[in-house]
Structure 1
Amino acid sequence: MLFHRILPQYKTAISTYLTPTHCRLYIANLVTSRRMTNIEAAKKLAAYRAVDENLPPHAKVIGIGSGSTVVYVAERIGQLPNKDDFVCISTGFQSKQLIIDNGLKLGQIEQHPSIDIAFDGADEVDPQLNLIKGGGACLFQEKLVASASDKLIIVADFRKQSKHLGQNWRQGVPIEVVPIAFTKLINDLKRLGAKSVDLRQGGKAKAGPVITDNNNFILDADFGIIEDPKSLHLQLKQLVGVVDTGLFTGITEKVYFGEESGEVTTWDGVVTGSTTEEVIAESK
């Protein structure tokens, strides 16, 4: 019945050629497709709002990160009539291409070490605006740009919301390491409490480990639920061979989420110690 309500114009033809199982699969795919369309539209809306509400009118240097939602950030910035008045600093290869593809001027952080504002994505966000980043293996340059910025704005979809870091992001904390040290660091990380540590592989695209833009390796260390991200980050940074970690603490000003409903939720870190649901309620 649901199938016939969704596609009444195809009722006779499709019922003739598809079994009930095929019909159910088609409906499931259609619902999933519509859901993903809503999410994608919300991501775009979140990115546009983030730019419109936060970009200083006289900004001269803008940081642009990576991620599926940041694509829309670059798109929105590329629509600005004064885009020739500022330069954009990338956090890696993908964001460099986003800058170029949207007709923006590409700058280097060596030439522009002070950045007015940066926009980036995240793999997971808790209510205190702590982040896990580095799923795209760009964490060091992302943190460099973020730390050089007067303001960091994060854009993502609702699936990145979490009560605690490590609750939804199960791949572990990304850690950029000097290649020669990775074996020793695996042992060090386990001694610090990591349940598992994996050297990230290139998969089908590359035989062997992932190589970062800085010619380093990425270790993914699963610490489970992370109650104190700042403390863990400081412990990890003390290990010889660690370049930086994917734990971003005390650096984010605001987060824009594209919701499944097609709406946008914002977190600003004002509500402390609340559950994700309470923060969402406060934000709407």
Structure 2
Amino acid sequence: MAIKQAIVAQALPLIKAGMVVGFGGGTTVGELVRQAANHVNDITVVTPSPTTRQLATVLGYTVISPAYCDRIDIAFDGCDQLDHHGNALKSGGGIHTAEKIIASLADEYWLLTVKDRLVDQFDPQTPLVLEVLPTAFALVMQTVSDLGGQATVRTAANRDGFTLSDQGNLLIDCHFPTYEHLSALNQELVATAGVVETSYFDRLVTNAILGDADHQQVTTLF
């Protein structure tokens, strides 16, 4: 059994009939969405991911917008990095604001990832991503520089121009020499006018299912 399927097999029993379930993006979560359709289809799905929303709709789930949902029983997502305290960086997809809304609504927020992404300290090669109002562009770029970082506006690979969030905001990738004080750095950036959200998930994770491909083992973080 591939490690992705093993992770999904451990996550499946957490989903019960009648639940409101949040599903994020990524291939592992997508596999969980598919398998859950065979396990228990009587759930309501909330998702920040257009790809996951389309898949869930095709599979026959009831899908509702987070805008009209005030509570989620359990949510599943992936991550780029995860520390031993349950903090996470989710920088790749550019939908971290919507993902944080799902995480904040959820009674339980589980990450599904490989054990290689569990770190003692976050690797600064993974950017801290900011969703930023276009009018705050210059302010945010200067603030990142003042905090010792380098900021780059994310551009689209298949069109001329910037990559925009679903809300029409800029995505700015920030690299810092170290993430030793990431929580404090994150607070500084969140407090900057025009920053909608960052890709650092501070104390939002309930638990994580970690797959070890080398040993074909699956464990939980806590």
TM beyond 0.5 = yes
Q: Which residue of structure 1 lines up, in the alignment, with residue 155 of structure 2?
A: 201
- Inter-partner Cα distance in structure 2 for 1:73 and 1:158: 18
Residue pair 1:124, 1:132 contacting (<8 A) in 2 also: yes
Alignment of 1:101-250 (within 5 A): 101-167=58-124, 170-194=125-149, 196-203=150-157, 205-250=158-203
Alignment of 1:70-109 (within 5 A): 70-81=29-40, 83-84=41-42, 86-109=43-66
Structure 2: which 5+ runs fail to align? none
Residue pair 2:91, 2:127 contacting (<8 A) in 1 also: no
Query: Per residue, is there more strand in 1 or in 2?
Result: 2
Instruction: Please report how far the alpha carbon of residue 59 of structure 1 lies from its aligned counterpart in structure 2 after TM superposition.
Output: 4.3
1:150 is paired with a residue whose SS is strand
1:62 is paired with a residue whose SS is strand
Q: Deviations over 1:51-104 (max 9, x none)?
A: 32x33x3543111101122112212222224x23x2100112122123223332
Residue pair 2:100, 2:201 contacting (<8 A) in 1 also: yes
Residue pair 1:164, 1:225 contacting (<8 A) in 2 also: no
- Inter-partner Cα distance in structure 2 for 1:77 and 1:207: 39
Tell me if 1:46 matches 2:37. no
Residue pair 1:197, 1:220 contacting (<8 A) in 2 also: yes
1:198 is paired with a residue whose SS is strand
Q: Deviations over 1:173-197 (max 9, x none)?
A: 0111111212221111111121x21
Q: Deviations over 1:79-131 (max 9, x none)?
A: 224x23x2100112122123223332111122222111110110111111110
Residue pair 1:91, 1:145 contacting (<8 A) in 2 also: yes
Query: Per residue, is there more helix in 1 or in 2?
Result: 1
Misfit runs of 4+, over 4 Å: none
1:215 is paired with a residue whose SS is coil
TM-score (norm 1): 0.73
1:69 is paired with a residue whose SS is helix
Residue pair 1:130, 1:165 contacting (<8 A) in 2 also: no
User: 1:161 and 1:105, CA in 2 relative to 1: closer, same or farther beyond 3 A?
Assistant: same
Instruction: Please report how far the alpha carbon of residue 158 of structure 1 lies from its aligned counterpart in structure 2 after TM superposition.
Output: 2.8
- Inter-partner Cα distance in structure 1 for 2:93 and 2:67: 22
1:156 is paired with a residue whose SS is strand
Instruction: Please report how far the alpha carbon of residue 43 of structure 1 lies from its aligned counterpart in structure 2 after TM superposition.
Output: 1.6
TM-score (norm 2): 0.92
CA RMSD of aligned residues (A): 1.7
- Inter-partner Cα distance in structure 1 for 2:129 and 2:62: 30
- Mark the structure with the bigger radius of gyration: 1
Q: Deviations over 1:209-264 (max 9, x none)?
A: 11111111110111233223332221111101100000001111111122222321
Residue pair 1:109, 1:145 contacting (<8 A) in 2 also: yes
- Inter-partner Cα distance in structure 2 for 1:118 and 1:221: 27
Residue pair 2:87, 2:205 contacting (<8 A) in 1 also: yes
**Size of the alignment, in residue pairs?**
221
